Amino acid sequence: MSATSILRSAADRLSNVWALKGYKREWLRHDLVAGAALFALLVPAGMAYAQAAGLPPVTGLYATVIPLLVYAAVGPSRILVLGPDSALAPMIAAAIVPLAAGSSEKSVALAGLLAVLIGMIMLAGSALRLGTITGLLSKPIRLGYLNGIALLVALSQLPAFLGIEADGDIWQKLAKVTTGVLGGGVNLPALLLGAGSLALIWIPRLVKWKVPGVLFAVVGSCIATAVWGLNDHVKVAGVLPQGLPAPALGGIGWADALTLLPAAAGIALMAFADTGVLSQTLAAKEGKRVSGNREMAALGAASAATGLLGGFPVSGSTSRTPVAVDAGAKSQMTGVVGAALVLAFMLLAPGVTEYLPSATLAAVVIAAAIALADPSGVRRLLSLSRSESAVMLAAFLGVLTVGVLQGIVVAIALAVLDFVRRAWDPYRAELGSEEGLPGYHDLARHPEGKRIPGLLILRFDAPLFFGNGQVLAGFVREQLDEASGKAPDAITHVILAAEPITGIDTTALEDLVTLDEWLANKGVDLVFAELKGPVKDKLLHLGAAARFTPEHFFPTIGAAVRALRRE
């Protein structure tokens, strides 16, 4: 597929103009109310997640406004809030902080470039119909990743929460925090503001108030800081620059793009996974379904536009979207209203944030991290599967030790290896008949079942590939030797119940031919029952048509048994 056709295909996916298409007048009142409720979260959350990503707080507002407007125009989901996300913040920081060398301007430019690269990757992925690629992120990987991210994000905010100056990576910050706490370096006003903000965020959640606690925390901490003059004693967000989002990509080059590309691919995968799951969940509640490819294209367009205008990578928000839904949102116009209010705030009241403590922003991020964790899911998985629990633990420890993206890559590799291990050594069984029970059943699970005289029916529960062809051959030989020693009648046919065999490669075919030759020397024929048409076609295409003639294939095990017992 050419670059032109890829772009044209992506453009076709971005042509629905959701905010205008099919909009009903009676929705407007609901969307205005929901947009106003959403606004209460957008400003503090955007600024907090920007801080967590190592960026100036104002970039969080740019990364809030732009994606909301772009997604309203091209997004396929009726209600979905895009914006900065706590799960992406540490990945963004890990990608840009080492390259920025302490320069705030360079950090902003690199974050914008990262968002543009992510957008391009997603647009290309949509054109190539890769909307199902998130299947790489199994539930164990997502559990380990999310819980690791939650801990990492919470730890990263401790310096701001405690009012302790600390820079470097997460472990360097943690070491400095520990030293500061032991040395009495905790800023008590900052700690009180942070703890009070955290309480104000969580109390409404516990009592199930519809008004978001973040609003109480932000307003309350700003009032306390202004009344008691605490802005001279604690770090504050400061006055926002007055103006609209603008390009901020100066001072970067191709070398930066190449360096950021691997991180962009990883973040794109994670961002789309979170957004895709959220959009499908919302659609399912209405009995609908959202195209993964269209969702990927819309998220890519929003990310690229955000990066071009001073923002950073975004994804679907699992905290702000439910607020919009609960407030009665009917369409993406809710996001437009929220974005408009954020823009009005930036233009008309940028000085309000002069009294917004960094400890409060840290509390917002910590609360989001706590909500992100899923300890009950961890406990459930630990009780269900040892191998999947190992994958989850690998993702969790990988995120904490070798890095967010590297940890996820390690976990995906372990999950793939576990899949290969199970395919390499799959479950296999000998089948027999049981009186009063139709069909043919695993004799290990139905010991009262009996073999069919003269026949050996075997099942192999995996596709045949280079790693397990000899395993199948060894299994057939073992079962034939055992059956020949027990059965009064000589075995004349081995029936391979082949429904679970969903593929075959050339190496496995060679092993199958060798097995057939070995059986023929013993006077035994190998036949197939329930082999899927595409697999049969491939088997014959690979050169086995002369050996495995039509009489070697039967539509069902019963048909094979009836035909072969008449011989």
Mean pLDDT of 525-529: 95
pLDDT value of residue 403: 78
Each residue's pLDDT tens digit, 62-98? 999 999 999 999 999 888 999 999 889 989 998 999 9
Computed from CA positions of residues 332, 338, 344, 350, in that sequence, does the dihedral angle turn out positive or negative? Answer: negative
pLDDT value of residue 17: 46
Decide: 357 and 235 in contact? Cβ < 8 Å: yes
Is residue 338 pLDDT above 90, yes or no?
Answer: yes
Decide: 115 and 307 in contact? Cβ < 8 Å: yes
pLDDT band at 163 (very low <50, low <70, confident <90, very high): very high
Query: Nearest Cα to 89, choosing from 430, 329, 394, 369?
Result: 369
Each residue's pLDDT tens digit, 277-319? 788 777 877 778 788 889 999 999 999 999 999 999 999 988 8
Is residue 13 pLDDT above 80, yes or no?
Answer: no
Q: Write the CA distances from 361 to 46, 301, 311, 365, integer angstroms.
A: 9, 28, 18, 6
Is residue 142 pLDDT above 90, yes or no?
Answer: no
CA atoms of 415 and 71, how far apart (whole Å): 33
What single string gives the DSSP state of each residue in 372-433?
H--HHHHHHHHHH-HHHHHHHHHHHHHHHHT-HHHHHHHHHHHHHHHHHHHHHS--EEEEEE
pLDDT value of residue 362: 93
Is residue 37 pLDDT above 50, yes or no?
Answer: yes
Query: Nearest Cα to 396, choosing from 412, 414, 382, 411?
Result: 411
CA atoms of 532 and 349, how far apart (whole Å): 67
pLDDT value of residue 117: 97
Q: Output the six-digit token pair for 259.
A: 């360096």
Share above pLDDT 70 across residues of the chain, in percent, rounded to a whole number: 94
Q: Which residues contact 447 (CB under 8 A, 6 or more apart)?
A: none
pLDDT band at 358 (very low <50, low <70, confident <90, very high): very high
Is residue 507 pLDDT above 70, yes or no?
Answer: yes
Q: 371 in helix, strand or coil?
A: helix
Share above pLDDT 90 across residues of the chain, in percent, rounded to a whole number: 54
